[in-house]
Amino acid sequence: MSTDPDTILLEAEDAMDKGVEYLKQELRGVRSGRASTALIEFLKVDYYGASTELKALAAISVPEPTQLLIKPFDQGAVGDIRKAIEAANLGLSPVVEDKSIRINVPALTSDRRQQLVARCKKVGEETKVVLRNARRDANKHADALGKDSSAHIGEDQIADLKDQIQEMLKKHEAEVDQRVADKSKEVLEV
């Protein structure tokens, strides 16, 4: 239970920041028309029984605008990496070449672009729900603080605290909207 207004605000902001961070991670994995290492670097690879991010197992580069090149640090991981890419359902076909994997990133169809924009918006809405839940929890703590006679906090201070929480929510929601709009624009670029 939060004991003072500053703690309530800090906890709410922390929860909202984590929501926005999750959004950033999710949007990184949504592909646009051009090749990007972010498309695959966070894929989980079953590497000797441990789920490991691809970027920890290989050097990933973009030799051409529509191509990704993966050079595993351990040559024995090539098969596991290929399986992980195929299992990720990104619409990518990895081609094993000697000790590396090459991926040609096909151009997106307009239907696929619209699906990806819809996915971006869905993740944005899910993030806003997380932000609003953080606001709800902070408001509950504020109400409890107002009812606690030992806290010596007046109704005006509680109202100010709730206003600050609402402003924080607006700021984070604006950031979510901007990130979704930017990613949607990137996906729609031909």
Looking at the structure, tell me whether residues 139 and 174 fall in a common domain. yes
Domain boundary among 104, 139, 160: 104
Q: For residue 11, what are the domain limits?
A: 5-28+109-188
**Joined tokens for residue 21:** 């961070």
Domain count, the chain: 2
Per-residue pLDDT, 110: 86
Looking at the structure, tell me whether residues 14 and 84 fall in a common domain. no
Rounded to 10°, the helix 155-188/110-147 angle is 170
CATH code of the domain covering residue 155: 1.10.132.20
Looking at the structure, tell me whether residues 96 and 124 fall in a common domain. no
Helix (H, G, I), strand (E, B) or coil at 59: strand
Looking at the structure, tell me whether residues 74 and 119 fall in a common domain. no
Looking at the structure, tell me whether residues 183 and 170 fall in a common domain. yes
Looking at the structure, tell me whether residues 23 and 114 fall in a common domain. yes
Per-residue pLDDT, 42: 82
Per-residue pLDDT, 179: 95
- pTM across the whole model: 0.72
CATH code of the domain covering residue 99: 3.30.1360.40
Q: What is the pLDDT of residues 53-70, one digit of tens each?
A: 899 999 999 998 888 999
Looking at the structure, tell me whether residues 97 and 116 fall in a common domain. no
- CB burial string 105-122: b at 16+ within 10 A, e below: beebeeeebeebbebbee
Looking at the structure, tell me whether residues 113 and 175 fall in a common domain. yes
- In a 13 Å sphere around the CA of 189, the CA atoms on its Cβ side amount to 10
Domain boundary among 51, 82, 104: 104
Residues 6+ apart with CB under 8 A from 97: none
Per-residue pLDDT, 33: 67
Q: Using CA atoms, how far apart are residues 46 and 38, in angstroms rounded to an integer?
A: 19
CA 172 to chain centre: 14
Helix (H, G, I), strand (E, B) or coil at 41: coil
Looking at the structure, tell me whether residues 114 and 184 fall in a common domain. yes
pLDDT in tens for each of the 190 residues of the chain? 447 889 999 999 999 999 999 999 888 877 776 778 888 888 889 988 888 989 999 999 999 888 899 999 998 899 999 999 888 877 788 999 988 999 988 777 888 889 889 999 999 999 999 999 999 999 999 998 888 877 788 888 999 999 999 999 999 999 999 999 999 998 888 6
